[in-house]
Amino acid sequence: MTTFAIRQYGDPVLRQVTKVIEEIDGRVAKLAEDMIETMYEAPGVGLAANQVGVQRRMFVYDVGDGPMVIVNPTIVESTGEWTYQEGCLSVPGLSWPIVRPGSVHLTGYDLDGNELSIEADEFVGRVFQHELDHLDGILLVERLDEDQRREAKAILRARALEPLTGDPDGLHTLGEDL
């Protein structure tokens, strides 16, 4: 198994909209396997293909029930509202309370090409929305309110000038990295 370097905030690959996977073959399965390994190593609970530099519509996640892979996901319906302290493996060490729909209905395919239809709320619903955003080239920073965003940009700008040093665990916050 191989692990990938996770692309970080500022990498243009994170701003690009990913392409539909036309054929679910062995290469896609291998990519999913390596993405799962990368997610566990990080550690995080979700990872989108473009976070490892692959411009395809697929994400992996594990919310405690084992690894799952969703190919060509779509959110067909979202309702309600839920606030969660959300972090991202591509923006490490930072998290913000972000309001998004509380429940979503996601469709897609598994690695055998079977159609999936999953209703998810709260945390799992949040993972789905976060990963879908990645596949559409959107980072969580863009989901912040005006004040949060101003603060985030200042931190990220300072960080770009002075790369992280020391113990990264010291920066870990309450939210899960997705």
| Marked catalytic residue, from 131, 146, 151, 176 | 131
Among 88, 124, 127, 144, contact with Zn ion (rule: CB under 5 A): 88
For residue 170, the tally of other CB atoms under 10 A from its CB is 7
Which residue's CB is nearer to Zn ion, number 24 or number 44? 44
* Minimum distance, C-beta of residue 113 to Zn ion, in the bound complex (Å): 26
Query: Per CB under 5 A, does 178 bind Zn ion?
Result: yes
78: Cβ–Cβ under 8 A, 6 or more apart, which residues?
A: 101, 103, 104, 105, 125, 129
Question: With CB under 5 A as the contact rule, which of the stretches 25-33, 75-83, 85-93, 144-152 interacts with Zn ion?
Answer: 85-93
Cβ neighbourhood burial of 150 (10 Å; 0-12, 13-18, 19+):
exposed
Question: With CB under 5 A as the contact rule, which of the stretches 52-60, 82-90, 141-149, 159-167 interacts with Zn ion?
Answer: 82-90
Active site residue 131: yes
How distant, in Å, are the alpha carbons of 90, 93, 112 from that of 13? 11, 20, 27
Q: Please tell me the count of residues contacting Zn ion according to CB under 5 A.
A: 2
Q: Are strands 82-88 and 176-177 parallel, antiparallel or unpaired?
A: parallel
Instruction: State the residues that interact with Zn ion by CB under 5 A.
Output: 88, 178
